[in-house]
Amino acid sequence: MTRGVPATRLPAALKVNSLSLFFGLIFLLSLVAQAFVGTAYFNREQLSGGLRPVGVGDYVLSSSYWVDVTENWQSEFLQFLLFILATVWFVQKGSPESKAIEKAGRESDKDQKVGRYAEEDSPAWARAGGWRLSVYSHSLALVMGAIFVGSWLAQSVTGAVAYSEEQLRNLQDPVTWTEYLALPEFWSRTVQNWQSEFLAVLAMVVLSIYLRERGSPESKPVGTAHEATGVEG
């Protein structure tokens, strides 16, 4: 029990944030697990080469660790970025992941509750108009896009170092960052992640037309017709 938080309020605070807390927790556990198994994997190579093993602390500061982390991050954020943007214009009849067919596009100010249609509890920048409204209207895609670009850039930098490390281990010359960007290794790491993300989105969009998970907002209510679009459970 955290000191200073009333006993009756803590469970409520946990409950209303349980989705974020759950994913935050399993994210951290996975990241730590990756650090440990990654160290074990890396040390197999060290030992087979007659070298001393490295500690987890050294490994989590290595490019070998971060290229594996960031290549997955960039593809996940690209997936959600594309999903956010594509669902503005593209629709899928029957899918709860799609909005209603007739709502394709940016929608009216009234639908979006901006400008003079803003409500009392609308975010301040939604009521503000001008450049603040423009920025806020795209803030989700902007931030997701920035994380995607940043992660991909980090993948390229750490990937160049990790690739050079492997080259040197095999008595070959290291590569520069710009040379690495033109190598199949960089694009293989990138595209192999993209394809799996796009397949997962496609599966969600299409399977949720016909299949249900009772109680999940990612599914239509169990008894809803297959043709119903833009309905979440």
Q: Which is nearer to another protein, 49 or 215 (CB)?
A: 49
Q: Is 222 in the site for another protein (CB under 8 A)?
A: no
Least separation in angstroms between residue 184's CB and another protein is 14
Q: Scanning the structure block, which residue is given the tokens 């496609």?
A: 202
Q: Is 8 in the site for another protein (CB under 8 A)?
A: no
The interface region with another protein, picked from 89-97, 168-176, 197-205, 211-219 by CB under 8 A, is: 168-176
Among 2, 8, 20, 170, binds another protein (CB under 8 A): 170
Q: Is 43 in the site for another protein (CB under 8 A)?
A: no
The CA-based dihedral angle spanning residues 156, 162, 166, 168, taken in that order and rounded to the nearest 10 degrees: 100
Among 18, 30, 139, 172, binds another protein (CB under 8 A): 172
Residue 73 CA to residue 79 CA, distance in Å, equals 10
Q: Is 181 in the site for another protein (CB under 8 A)?
A: no
Residues in the interface with another protein (CB under 8 A) total 28
Give me the 126-155 binding string for another protein, x by CB under 8 A, dash otherwise.
----------------------------x-
Q: Is 46 in the site for another protein (CB under 8 A)?
A: yes
Least separation in angstroms between residue 11's CB and another protein is 41
Q: Which is nearer to another protein, 147 or 206 (CB)?
A: 147
By the 8 A CB rule, do 65 and 38 touch?
A: yes
Q: Looking at this protein, which amino acid is placed at residue 76?
A: E
Q: Which is nearer to another protein, 92 or 151 (CB)?
A: 151
Q: Among 149, 139, 137, 78, which Cα is nearest to 112's?
A: 137
Among 168, 191, 207, 222, binds another protein (CB under 8 A): 168
Per CB under 8 A, residues contacting another protein are: 46, 49-52, 54, 57-58, 61-64, 66, 154, 157-158, 161-162, 164-165, 167-174
